[in-house]
Chain A
């Protein structure tokens, strides 16, 4: 795919907008992609890396992906220019069943670099806003600089049909920060969204997911109404190489989207 857009989100974090070169591949993508699915993005000679597709299922003319530069492949992707070609394999995995969320309230909880997969769901719902009830987004990062999609955060802040709660970790605030300060699970409990007719979608580092699930339980959310996506180490993406096997699931085939009920059946030590 060709890189047609490139944006620095935060220190070390970039977003790439990609366009298909082969119309057949594009048709195939349009037919199969649903929000929550992931792909393997690569550079020949370096390898492939797994990230979610950060763009929503309502906008399939391009693919967006957001990643932190941390290893060999992500460094090569970060150094690629507009016009360069990279490889994409996918979309793989299962999806968020958003048609089942219609008519319900939505609570999105995310942290740091884990906003991209959530963002895909958020826009998929916002692009069909009338089908959903109240939308609450709770998002936090370590510092103000680490918040990703800053322009979109501003847009969501200004919309009257979204309730956005932003937070940074204690010590991460800048002098002109007007939003909350505190860890995401704590801020979530303070905001106390009602579990009534509400679906929660959470994504974050393993430790954040663990504590957020506890908070949601405290707030009265049922585990079958809480969805999350697991970002395990993957290689083949098609359920063969064994790397993403956790408990009895292969995250690349039966995930990465799971309900909290399904996650609680997985051996916690292996996550």
Chain B
């Protein structure tokens, strides 16, 4: 696999000459089509790295692991376009210094993997711009399409049913690169803003609070959806929020490292005159 070999040799070179202390990528998983995150720290270990269309998870969340980048050394990481957008957001929100990150960008259509040109965060603005201008067809996601046809009462009933399965495991939060708060709002108990019980109210509170906290920040990587053990289609809520934010503020998350977070900035042209 040419693309895999190219990046593998590149990883080996960077590790061998000390340009990076670690390469975060994918290695084979416990079944033929599973891939697991791997943290390669030496030339020999680099043979574990694989690259194919099954490499789906957004790995950028590992970049904000406590202490990883505090020694100011550099780390290389395999990222898809949405992963690069997550990286931009993390930088814009001052969670990391992009000079420490070398990007191994890639994308896939069907089983074909293509490498993205560029190594540093600033080099992908054209790519991200074109993703913004060319959103996927609504009909390509049947469930999304189905929900779009519902009226508000039907939608509420749909989500009530979906959330009834939530067991408050917080896998959605842990796997999301944007959820990096040292103490999440659900873990605060003075006061206990959000209940930890999984009854209807507790489940709505949690999922809706998280959706709001991600408004204008979610890049649609799907980590939350894939990690939910009870298969709640979380990507749809966040996708809808992203759409609302795009319509209201022309804000597409992750365009650059200087993009201001949409809900943390105010412009005179905003339709509301105050925070609410």
Contact surface of A with B, Cβ cutoff 8 Å = 47, 71-72, 75
Provide a sorted-by-A list of 6 A–B residue pairs whose CB atoms are within 8 angstroms.
A47-B189, A71-B189, A71-B190, A72-B189, A72-B190, A75-B190
- In the complex formed, the residue of A with least CB distance to B188 is A72
Bitwise interface map of B from 177 to 207 toward A, beta carbon under 8 Å scored 1, else 0: 0000000000001100000000000000000
- In the complex formed, the residue of B with least CB distance to A75 is B190
- In Å, the complex CA distance between A177 and B189 comes to 40
What total count of A-B pairs have CB within 8 Å? 6
Q: Among A47, A71, A72, A75, which residue has the most Cβ atoms of chain B within 10 A?
A: A72
Residues of A within 8 A of B190 (CB): 71-72, 75
- In the complex formed, the residue of A with least CB distance to B189 is A72
- In the complex formed, the residue of B with least CB distance to A76 is B190
For chain B, the bracket of interface size reads under 10
Residues of B within 8 A of A75 (CB): 190
Expressed in whole angstroms, the minimum distance between the Cβ of B142 and any Cβ of chain A is 42
Residues of B within 8 A of A47 (CB): 189
Residues of B within 8 A of A71 (CB): 189-190
- In Å, the complex CA distance between A75 and B190 comes to 10
Expressed in whole angstroms, the minimum distance between the Cβ of B197 and any Cβ of chain A is 14
Expressed in whole angstroms, the minimum distance between the Cβ of B244 and any Cβ of chain A is 35
Expressed in whole angstroms, the minimum distance between the Cβ of B193 and any Cβ of chain A is 12
- In the complex formed, the residue of A with least CB distance to B190 is A72
- In Å, the complex CA distance between A119 and B190 comes to 31
Expressed in whole angstroms, the minimum distance between the Cβ of B183 and any Cβ of chain A is 13
Residues of A within 8 A of B189 (CB): 47, 71-72
- In Å, the complex CA distance between A239 and B153 comes to 46
Residues of B within 8 A of A72 (CB): 189-190
Expressed in whole angstroms, the minimum distance between the Cβ of B43 and any Cβ of chain A is 32
- 4 tightest Cβ-Cβ pairs between the two chains A and B: A72-B190, A72-B189, A71-B190, A75-B190
- In Å, the complex CA distance between A75 and B189 comes to 12
Q: For window 119-159 of chain B, which residues contact chain A by CB distance below 8 Å?
A: none
Expressed in whole angstroms, the minimum distance between the Cβ of B62 and any Cβ of chain A is 24
- In the complex formed, the residue of B with least CB distance to A73 is B189
- In Å, the complex CA distance between A234 and B189 comes to 16
Expressed in whole angstroms, the minimum distance between the Cβ of B187 and any Cβ of chain A is 12
- In Å, the complex CA distance between A47 and B192 comes to 11
- In Å, the complex CA distance between A47 and B189 comes to 10
- In Å, the complex CA distance between A202 and B177 comes to 45
Bitwise interface map of B from 61 to 91 toward A, beta carbon under 8 Å scored 1, else 0: 0000000000000000000000000000000
- In the complex formed, the residue of A with least CB distance to B192 is A72
Expressed in whole angstroms, the minimum distance between the Cβ of A49 and any Cβ of chain B is 12
- In Å, the complex CA distance between A261 and B79 comes to 52
- In the complex formed, the residue of A with least CB distance to B191 is A72
- In Å, the complex CA distance between A47 and B190 comes to 11
- In Å, the complex CA distance between A14 and B60 comes to 47
- In Å, the complex CA distance between A72 and B191 comes to 8
- In Å, the complex CA distance between A149 and B190 comes to 29
- In Å, the complex CA distance between A72 and B188 comes to 10
- In Å, the complex CA distance between A47 and B196 comes to 14
Expressed in whole angstroms, the minimum distance between the Cβ of A68 and any Cβ of chain B is 15
- In Å, the complex CA distance between A88 and B189 comes to 21
Expressed in whole angstroms, the minimum distance between the Cβ of B155 and any Cβ of chain A is 34
Expressed in whole angstroms, the minimum distance between the Cβ of A55 and any Cβ of chain B is 29
- In Å, the complex CA distance between A71 and B189 comes to 9
- In Å, the complex CA distance between A128 and B13 comes to 76
- In Å, the complex CA distance between A101 and B239 comes to 69
Expressed in whole angstroms, the minimum distance between the Cβ of B74 and any Cβ of chain A is 31
Expressed in whole angstroms, the minimum distance between the Cβ of B113 and any Cβ of chain A is 42
Expressed in whole angstroms, the minimum distance between the Cβ of B189 and any Cβ of chain A is 5
Expressed in whole angstroms, the minimum distance between the Cβ of B22 and any Cβ of chain A is 25
Expressed in whole angstroms, the minimum distance between the Cβ of B195 and any Cβ of chain A is 13
Expressed in whole angstroms, the minimum distance between the Cβ of A79 and any Cβ of chain B is 13
- In Å, the complex CA distance between A47 and B191 comes to 12
Expressed in whole angstroms, the minimum distance between the Cβ of A249 and any Cβ of chain B is 27
